[in-house]
Chain A
Amino acid sequence: MSIFEDTLDHYTSHNALTNTNIYLKLLFSVITLCINLFSNSPIMPFTLLIIFTIIIVGIAKIPARFYLAFMAVPFGFALISIIFLAFLGEGTHIWNLGLFGWGISAEGLNRGVLVFFKVMGGVSALGLLVLTTPANRIFAVFHDLHVPSVITDLSILMYRYIFLFLDVTATMYNSQKTRLGYRNYSSWMNCLATLAGIVFIRTWEQGEISYKALASRGYNGKLNMIREGDKISELKITQWILFIAFELFLIAGIILTGSINVVPYLIH
């Protein structure tokens, strides 16, 4: 199944932290993400980025190339926000563009850098959960958190069929190309429209037959799944201590670094 070798889904089930209790990863990621939002200085978010990158690449053994690709999207957005915030900030300019009186102010630059590192730190924290946890365990957490079963059932079915339709789409795309589809702009438009249409029809057919297959095994409108998740009670005391110590370190860091900024305020 080569087309699925280099996907997020592949790495979630093939890394050194796959079998770590999901609640540990969940707490680490989500609580850290939330506390991170309170920082006023880019120092702690930057530290988080370093720490989580080390955990993801060094401990979980996610290939660095894949991790970089994963981080590239938030990086792009964060970079744009630095530029906008730097130019839109109030106060005296420390650098002038020389056009329409636009320039960068110290306050704007500081805010931009802060937002940039908050985003990158937060995403890397969330990356720990997203990159190392197979989807079925996330569904198990949905169940534990009493998310309505309609939502969980739908996510389970969608998750499975995304891959099936990726496969169908890839096969059809190749078969169109084999017969010289996509050779110029108008053919490209045509082929893509046909592909989309056919995939839609296939989805419809697949829905019918999948329902029959599920019904053959006693499906009655609700997916009765065996839950293969971890329990929060299975967390060891050392793991709790590690988690709490880390969050305390984070809070202390945020308080101590206060609003230390990259650009001192009073440069003129």
Chain B
Amino acid sequence: MSTILEAKDLIYKYPDGTEAIKGINFKVEEGQMISILGPNGAGKSTFFLHFNGIIEPTSGTIEIDGKTLKYDKKSLLDARSKVGIVFQNPDDQLFAPTVFEDVAFGPMNMGLSEDEVRERTTEAIKVVGMAGFEKKAPHHLSGGQKKRVAIAGILAMRPRIMVLDEPTSGLDPNGASDIMQLLYDLNEDGMTIIISTHDVDLVPLYSDNIHILRLGKIIKNGNCREVFSDKEVVEKSNLRLPWIAQLFEQLEEIDKLTVGDKGYPLTVQQAVNDLMDKI
């Protein structure tokens, strides 16, 4: 595995001088699926916009594929075709009169031939399960459908890294787990995925690596069990344990029932396994 994206000593100040990002060192290996958790206003969205050069850091650097990102037109275009960002609100992203034209926008900007653009667009729309909606206008779609189209718009550019800002926010439970499953499948096929989320119940199902961002700093990273067993950090970041872990926390404190040896189970599957072992 090689490092595909790295942020070194990243600092960003808003024009009024407030520091949004206060020195982040962050490293992503190719093929990882990383979650960034943190309270509202922690700077997650601002942090993400550094990855493809939309925001230029006040100091520090972004390295994509080992190359330091420069901020001239050509390097930016290159960075944006390697790192795709899906925005939190799909209405910010969808602009074209039809789904097909919107998804085709990214690939068109990459200067591909029209046949290639059509092929990629059709495929991306199919992958996100929106085939048959090509000629619909975005304002005739539901929230979940818009989200899928927004993801397709990035997917069609075939980036190596896909960054998603709260991909499950505002979706119904089924819609949310469908999207997560889609991301998981994409990750299986080799795409590196970075998501920000508040959904502590869904994260452990998919992510192998969690970073907690608070007040512009990464205060903890590691695998799910490591991070969630640090009670202080979880509390400080306005997060909570997944419901299933809270159940086992109670069982341990009140009923002195301890299962497993690596901390509380975080998903239903882990809980089942740990319980079976116990019995």
Residue numbers of A with Cβ under 8 A of B are 1, 4, 9-10, 13, 134-136, 139, 156-157, 159-161, 163-164, 167, 206, 209-210, 212-220, 223-226, 228
Contacts and interface: CB of A to CB of B under 8 A. Distances in A.
19 contacts: A9-B137, A13-B136, A13-B140, A135-B97, A136-B101, A139-B97, A160-B96, A160-B97, A167-B139, A209-B92, A214-B105, A220-B73, A220-B77, A223-B105, A224-B105, A224-B108, A225-B101, A225-B105, A228-B98
Interface string B93-130: 11111101100111011100010011001000000000
A210 B87 CA distance: 10
B161 to A, nearest CB: 12
Contacts of B80: 215-218
Contacts of B98: 134, 136, 228
A157 B102 CA distance: 12
Given A134-B97, A218-B110, A210 B92 contact: yes
A214 B95 contact: yes
A159 B140 contact: no
B15 to A, nearest CB: 13
A223 B92 CA distance: 16
Contact of A226 (B84, B85, B94, B104): B104
Q: Which 7 A-B residue pairs are closest in the complex by CB-CB distance?
A: A218-B109, A136-B97, A163-B139, A217-B106, A226-B104, A224-B108, A213-B93
Given A225-B108, A226-B101, A218 B92 contact: no
Contacts of A4: 139-140
B28 to A, nearest CB: 18
A139 B137 CA distance: 14
A213 B104 CA distance: 14
A146 B57 CA distance: 40
A10 B121 CA distance: 24
Contacts of B13: none
Given A160-B96, A228-B98, A217 B153 contact: yes
A216 B85 contact: yes
Given A139-B97, A226-B114, A226-B117, A217 B105 contact: yes
A85 B131 CA distance: 56
Interface residues of B, number: 42
A218 B77 contact: yes
A13 B137 CA distance: 9
A256 to B, nearest CB: 43
A90 to B, nearest CB: 50
B154 interface: yes
A262 to B, nearest CB: 44
A210 B98 CA distance: 17
A27 B77 CA distance: 41
A161 B92 CA distance: 10
Given A10-B140, A164-B139, A210-B92, A215 B54 contact: yes
A210 B96 CA distance: 12
Contacts of A224: 105, 108-109
Contact of A212 (B49, B81, B97, B110): B49
Contacts of A228: 98, 100-101
A252 B84 CA distance: 61
A210 B54 contact: no
B138 interface: yes
A159 B97 contact: yes
A135 B139 CA distance: 13
A164 B154 contact: no
Interface string B148-174: 000001100100000000000000000
A1 B109 contact: no
A136 B140 CA distance: 14
Contacts of A220: 73, 77, 109
B118 A226 contact: yes
B91 A217 contact: no
A150 to B, nearest CB: 16
B140 A1 contact: yes
B5 to A, nearest CB: 15
Nearest to A1: B140
B10 to A, nearest CB: 18
Interface centre among B49, B80, B98, B136 (most CB of A within 10 A): B98
B209 interface: no
Interface in B24-63: 49, 52, 54
A157 B95 contact: yes
Nearest to B103: A226
A161 B104 CA distance: 19
Interface centre among A1, A217, A225, A226 (most CB of B within 10 A): A217
A49 to B, nearest CB: 30
Given A163-B137, A216-B87, A218-B77, 6 more contacts: A4-B139, A156-B97, A160-B138, A160-B139, A217-B153, A218-B110
